[in-house]
Amino acid sequence: MNARDEPTGATGSAAERRRTPPPPSHATPSGIEVPTVVTPDMCAGSAVGRPGQPPFTRSIFADGYRGRLWTFRQYSGFGSAEETNARYRFLLQQGTTGLSVALDLPTQCGFDPDDPMSAGEIGKVGVSLATIAEAELLFRDIDLGSISTSFTINGTAAIIYAMYLAVADRTGVPRSKLTGTIQNDILKEYVARGTWIFPVRPSMRLVADSILYSNRETPRFNPISIAGAHVRDAGCTAVEEMGYTLANGLAYVRELSSRGADPNNFAQRLSFFFYVHMDLFEEVAKFRAGRRLWARLLAERHGVTDPRALMFRFGVVCGGSSLTAAQPYSNVVRVAVENVAAVLGGAQSIFTCAYDEAFQIPTEFSAELALRTQQIIAYESGVARTVDPLGGSYYVEWLTDRMEEEIRKVIDDLDRYGGVERAIEDGYVQSRIAQRAYARKRGRDAGEEVVVGQNYFRGSGQDDDFGEIFHMNADTGRRVCARLRDVRAARNEGDVQRYLDRLAVAAQQSGENVMPYLVDCCHAYATVGEMVARLKGHWGEFREPVRL
Amino acid sequence: MNVHPLAGKRILIAKPGLDGHDAGAKVVAIALRDAGADVIYTGLRKSPEYIARVAVDEDVHAVGLSILSGSHNELVAATVAALRELEAGNVKIFVGGTIPRQDVPQLVAAGASGIFSADETLDAMIERIRAALA
């Protein structure tokens, strides 16, 4: 018997499926009570200001999307480098304007494909990238000088960035022309996403090394994307998502400042990344409040005066845990609403999840539909015609003010605890998020939050229609391992060991930047696992505080 | 209704493989604890062999595996094998995460006593675990 056929709770009896949903809540999902009418006096003191001027409530650009639309950046990657290269070329043909590389878990956690820890994981949630040989295949026939590339990579971000630079060096693309982003936000990995490797303090050093090196070598590249998306998907509210993210951002600013760097310069290249979930106005207000608060915090706490350094640039993903496996076609509608929220909030790049993303790697069909959603909103809806079209709305300005107050409280709480680094080492943030996720799940189970097709309005027969199924190439792991063996056999072992030794020495010296050593290792065909092992040798590994 | 339907049961919640998404595992761990079970949570990135060893050392009735990386077929089979290796094949295995429904029969055949999805309520999950351990 199929285990899913057994009777279950809220999804259970026909009577339960047909029960009446509660009336729409008067509070936002973050718990902000919303009045029936917002009157002009309730938002009279709002710092609305002008688009393009600090604190940028309305937009970081004076002309909004008129100068340039957001980047359509569809996250993709699976299997081997050749398979992913083929999907990228498909997406580019369909009009995607930025690549977004998904990497598999062994690459993200610093294990080579032939490591026992990698068994069963190669190419599963992204592409396997063990050496520069794979990276060259991944970007074959793609001009890195003209297309921006973003990498969702954290624990091994510095290594993958080094590999990207090495590929550009070999294909003759000047480093100064490279655009794109590495996520490189290790703090949230300890809290929500789990691809940490080293302890918190040496990880912060590695992040700072890569940012400082990138500012110098690839000035148009974003060396970090400080991400709230993952804590949000783990169960946080929109307020907490923004609060934890800005707090992490401030921790990186402190780390970089302690290295003698000027925030008026490096802050120009800090970028952010969030989820958009379904509560449209709260999401818009979250982005407007976050944009304003970031500018204010940098000015208040770090004396930043250059307006370019106060600009809060962010990408988003629409979908994630707001999507359901039940009645999956409804997800197309959800993603469209979220996409509109992202545009009204002023996002610089948008990734729309495919409707089947809740349960599988998207098929070519569903991936194309997700991209079409963005194109329809960009070119048919007219929503991007004028900058910040909701600016001056009594409700939106009032909610923006309330969100900013609540977000500040989250940051203040972490400050009182002794900073995010300590809160993470102790497991304080992790425990808060788990408790929040538990309460949210209980609320959903009780029917307090309506998810159409999941806890209400279920049972129309659409449930079983999953559409096309994506089939992973079962042979990927074997082929990736075989090619790694070939690379190891062909490379100059003396060079590899010499460069790895130099990397290890650099890691031991706190005044040294490890980035150039990583680039040398990549050129010599050292593997991600070998580089990580050398760094672990000196820095050790993070010890996860397990607290429920 | 019994407020502690899992009283007296010992359950290990484990994250096999490299997947780092632990929100679901922690929510389930808290729910089982609130239902009266003694719950042990392994933390991230544990091998099937490690999980089986902890299951035996802690003398648990059941192991809950949380997998969102698509590696469930390999990791469930490996955990079942590791438990049998330690002569603990009687320990029940439950699986949660992002499991495509076409994979459910294979996991059941491999020895999983129940597969849970995020759509299911915590109370329904607890009831199914209680029934399976009765």
- How do residues A187-219 score in pLDDT, each as one tens digit? 999 999 899 999 999 999 999 999 999 999 999
Distance between CA atoms of residues A356 and A347, nearest Å: 24
Of A318, A348, A346, A345, which Cα lies nearest the Cα of A333?
Answer: A318
Per DSSP, the three-state class of B108 is helix
How much of chain A, in percent, has pLDDT values that exceed 90? 78
Asked if the bond preceding A55 is cis, omega within 30° of 0, the reply is yes
Q: Are A126 and A78 in contact (CB under 8 A)?
A: yes
Distance between CA atoms of residues B131 and B134, nearest Å: 5
**Interfacial B residues in 95-114 facing A (CB < 8 Å):** 98, 100-102, 104-105, 108, 112, 114
Contacts for A405 with CB less than 8 Å, ≥ 6 apart = none
Distance between CA atoms of residues B81 and A190, nearest Å: 31
Mutate to test the interface with A, among B12, B13, B15, B18 (most CBs of A within 10 A): B18
pLDDT of residue A466: 56
Residue A360 pLDDT greater than 80, yes or no? no
- B121·A9 Cβ contact <8 A: yes
DSSP, res A514: S
- The sheet with strand B92-97 has its strands ordered as B38-41, B10-14, B62-67, B92-97, B112-116
pLDDT of residue B1: 56
Contacts for B41 with CB less than 8 Å, ≥ 6 apart = A546, A548, B12, B13, B14, B25, B26, B29
Least confident among A80-84, A492-496, B12-16? A80-84
Q: Residues in chain B, how many?
A: 134
Domains and their CATH numbers in chain A: 27-70+228-458 (3.20.20.240), 77-226 (no CATH)
- How do residues B50-108 score in pLDDT, each as one tens digit? 999 999 999 999 999 999 888 899 999 999 999 999 999 999 999 999 888 889 999 99
**Interfacial A residues in 322-341 facing B (CB < 8 Å):** 324-326
B20, B33, B127 member nearest A193 (Cβ): B20
- A548·B26 Cβ contact <8 A: yes
Q: Are B91 and B61 in contact (CB under 8 A)?
A: yes
Higher pLDDT, A203 or A6: A203
Mean pLDDT of all residues belonging to chain A: 92
Distance between CA atoms of residues A68 and A5, nearest Å: 50
Give per-residue burial for A180-218: e unless 16+ CB within 10 Å, then b.
bbbbbbbbbbbbbbbbbbbebebbbbbbbbbbbbbbebb
A-chain residues near B100 (CB < 8 A): 359-360, 469
Is A17 at the interface with chain B, CB within 8 A? no
The first and second tokens of residue A475, run together, are: 């042979």
Is A234 at the interface with chain B, CB within 8 A? yes
Say how far residue A534 (Cα) sits from the centre of its chain.
Answer: 27
Reported as a pLDDT band with limits 50, 70 and 90, residue A124 is: confident
Q: Which residue, chain included where needed, has tokens 């043909």?
A: A93
Going through B15-111 in order, the beta strands assigned E by DSSP cover: 38-41, 62-67, 92-97
State the count of interchain CB pairs (< 8 A) between A and B: 134
Residue A463 pLDDT greater than 80, yes or no? no
pLDDT of residue A548: 77
pLDDT of residue A289: 98
Is A11 at the interface with chain B, CB within 8 A? yes
Per DSSP, the three-state class of A117 is helix
Q: Are A151 and A547 in contact (CB under 8 A)?
A: no
The first and second tokens of residue A523, run together, are: 């050129």
Nearest residue on chain A to B23, alpha-carbon basis: A234
pLDDT of residue A540: 97
How many CA atoms lie within 13 Å of A271's alpha carbon, on the beta-carbon side?
A: 22
Q: Which residue, chain included where needed, has tokens 């909004």?
A: A64
pLDDT of residue A7: 34
Distance between CA atoms of residues B112 and B116, nearest Å: 11
Residue A2 pLDDT greater than 50, yes or no? no
Mutate to test the interface with B, among A359, A449, A478 (most CBs of B within 10 A): A359
